[in-house]
Structure 1
């Protein structure tokens, strides 16, 4: 397995609260990208969370390959980063990731968002960790 590293510029871009579009390898079925919250780790992996009993988890148990594409929002110069590679599913640290990303993407001083996060506590979460094999990027 060849591993490609994310650059400092990639990590800076991925540190922003942008949506990533996550796709699993689906064999003969076309990919079905889903918007997700994510973070790039200090070790160069990309992680996100999902419910333990979701279609993406079932697919990743059959074929661990996945990709995440993150693009700059409308109004900014065109830029994107794509990470593709095998994944691992980890229950350890999943709730901490949910909390961390909720604080990144939501204003938790808003009582509605704080309530949304509290309701999520009762669900079973997994971390999906992508080990980048291929990193592609574009920036104008």
Structure 2
């Protein structure tokens, strides 16, 4: 018998909206972030405009898969987007030295809001 729904566990994450329509994240293979999608693949992600910008957001819900391949390449692409790699090359090297796992969100419902 299934228990009650578990509350959401919001966390800031780096993400990539892939050409195939999925949303991809990565995490170390020993991360507690992997417990939930392995137990219950339903998930959501919410992206909101930063403070000071006009209010807008996107909410995406759907199933999640956990993939062993592609996490290192994803981490390198995202690091180049979020960091100045001239200053953070050592941080990136340390990050990808860990065994990484790719988390793929498969959107089933997308909601947009702008005000």
Scaled to the shorter chain, the TM-score interval is over 0.9
Q: Hey, what does 1:128 align to over in structure 2? A: 103
**Which residue of the partner structure matches residue 45 of structure 1?**
22
CA distance in 2, matches of 1:28, 1:83: 18
**Distance (whole Å) between structure 1 residues aligned to residue 47 and residue 96 of structure 2:** 27
Q: Which residue of 2 aligns with 1:139?
A: 114
In the alignment, the residues of structure 2 paired with residue 132 and residue 29 of structure 1 have an alpha-carbon distance, to the nearest angstrom, of 20
The corresponding residue for 1:36 is 13
Q: Structure 1 stretches of 5 or more lacking a match? A: 1-25
Question: Mind listing any 5+ residue stretches in structure 2 that lack a counterpart?
Answer: none
Q: Pairwise mapping of residues 1-140 of structure 1 onto structure 2 (< 5 A)? A: 27-110=4-87, 113-140=88-115
**Post-superposition shift, 1:74?**
1.1
CA distance in 2 between partners of 1:99 and 1:71 (Å): 23
Deviations 1:68-100 (A, max 9, x none): 100011111100001111011111111000000
- Could you list the per-position Cα deviations for residues 29-65 of structure 1 after superposition, in whole angstroms to 9, with x for gaps in the alignment? 3211110000101111111111112222111111111
| TM-score between both structures, scaled by the size of structure 2 | 0.92
Match of 1:9 in 2: none
Alignment partners' CA distance in 2, 1:42 and 1:104: 17
Q: Work out the CA distance in 2 between the residues paired with 1:79 and 1:128.
A: 25
How many corresponding residue pairs? 113
TM-score by length of 1: 0.76
